[in-house]
């Protein structure tokens, strides 16, 4: 319990520390940058801090949970193609040491996971966390760059474009990796019939990325790529105006 309290306390301090480290010392120029950033990206800045705090809390909670696996208490679970509607999971066979859980979708869980099952569970969980961490770092970098040189600069356009690409490609790749881990873990724990190689390939390469991308990540990523082009055009126009003055 003491470790958990320290972990939560640390999670509340880590994101502000990281933000302060990125922002740098408060010289007069830094204060002006901070005020400009607050005017331009105040809501985004606050939301990014909140998301960063929750991301750190989640990582600490998952790490604490995984650290207790020696006692055999925690379980690792994978989604199955079955649902509880119509008793879809009622006839599913599981292997020794595994059990079924249902909360709308049917999950198969290992009560005493092996090292390979923990690795597959990490493959299910980690990719999306990595994508979120990269997105938050790019958001903070965009805020800092806009505070330094204004929103319509080539640097801001490049960061915005990279942010859009990370959301589009990162979401698809993270979903594919998570589906691969879930399918492989499910095959280890479920009795026959299980997904074959063709079914896993379709799930990993087509179904999971499409479900993850549609509708919001695809829309947000495309909007950011378009805004990056607009920002780049604005930077070119700004250079032309300065050249004619």
Instruction: Provide the pLDDT for residue 10.
Output: 55
> Rounded to whole angstroms, how far apart are CA atoms 37 and 22?
13
Task: Evaluate if residue 176 carries a pLDDT over 70.
Answer: yes
What's the whole-number average pLDDT of the chain? 79
Structure tokens at 108: 């198969």
Task: Evaluate if residue 1 carries a pLDDT over 50.
Answer: no
Q: What is the pLDDT of residues 36-84, one digit of tens each?
A: 666 767 788 888 888 888 888 888 877 776 666 544 556 788 888 776 5
Instruction: Provide the pLDDT for residue 80.
Output: 81
3-state secondary structure of 237: helix
Task: Evaluate if residue 21 carries a pLDDT over 60.
Answer: no
Instruction: Provide the pLDDT for residue 3.
Output: 47
Instruction: Provide the pLDDT for residue 196.
Output: 75
Q: Specify the number of domains making up the chain.
A: 1
Q: What is the pLDDT of residues 107-164, one digit of tens each?
A: 888 888 888 998 999 999 999 999 999 999 999 898 888 777 777 888 989 999 999 9
CA angle 194, 175, 179 (to 5 degrees): 15
- Domain span holding position 58: 2-244
Between 94 and 167, whose confidence is greater? 167
Q: What is the pLDDT of residues 191-229, one digit of tens each?
A: 776 667 788 899 999 999 999 999 999 999 999 999 999
> Rounded to whole angstroms, how far apart are CA atoms 83 and 109?
15
Between 175 and 77, whose confidence is greater? 175
Tokens 């969980």 sit on residue: 125
Lowest mean pLDDT, pick from 43-47, 90-94, 177-181, 200-204: 90-94
Each as own residue / partner, the long-range contacts of residues 152-157 (CB below 8 Å, 24 or more positions apart, any chain) are 152/231, 152/234, 152/235, 152/238, 153/231, 153/235, 154/232, 154/235, 156/231, 156/235, 157/228, 157/229, 157/231, 157/232, 157/235
Instruction: Provide the pLDDT for residue 144.
Output: 83
């Amino acid at each position: 319990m003491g470790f958990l309290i320290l972990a939560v306390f640390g999670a509340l301090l880590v994101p502000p520390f990281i933000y302060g480290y990125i922002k740098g010392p408060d010289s007069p120029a830094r204060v002006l940058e901070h005020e400009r950033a607050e005017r331009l990206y105040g809501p985004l800045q606050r939301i990014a801090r909140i998301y960063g705090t929750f991301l750190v809390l989640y990582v600490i909670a998952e790490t604490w949970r995984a650290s207790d696996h020696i006692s055999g208490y925690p379980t690792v679970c994978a989604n199955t193609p079955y649902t509880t509607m119509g008793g879809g999971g009622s006839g599913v066979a599981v292997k020794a040491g595994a059990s079924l859980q249902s909360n709308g979708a049917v999950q198969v869980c290992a009560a005493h996971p092996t090292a390979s099952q923990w690795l597959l569970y990490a493959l299910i969980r980690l990719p999306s966390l990595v994508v979120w961490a990269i997105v938050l770092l790019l958001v903070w970098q965009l805020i800092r760059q806009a505070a330094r040189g204004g929103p319509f600069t080539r640097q801001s356009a490049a960061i915005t474009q990279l942010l859009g690409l990370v959301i589009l490609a990162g979401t698809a790749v993270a979903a594919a990796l998570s589906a691969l881990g879930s399918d492989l873990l499910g095959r280890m724990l479920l009795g026959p019939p299980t997904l074959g190689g063709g079914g896993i390939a379709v799930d990993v390469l087509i179904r999971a990325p499409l479900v993850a991308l549609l509708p919001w990540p695809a829309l947000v990523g495309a909007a950011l790529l378009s805004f990056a082009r607009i920002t780049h055009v604005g930077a070119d126009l700004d250079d032309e105006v300065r050249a004619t003055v």
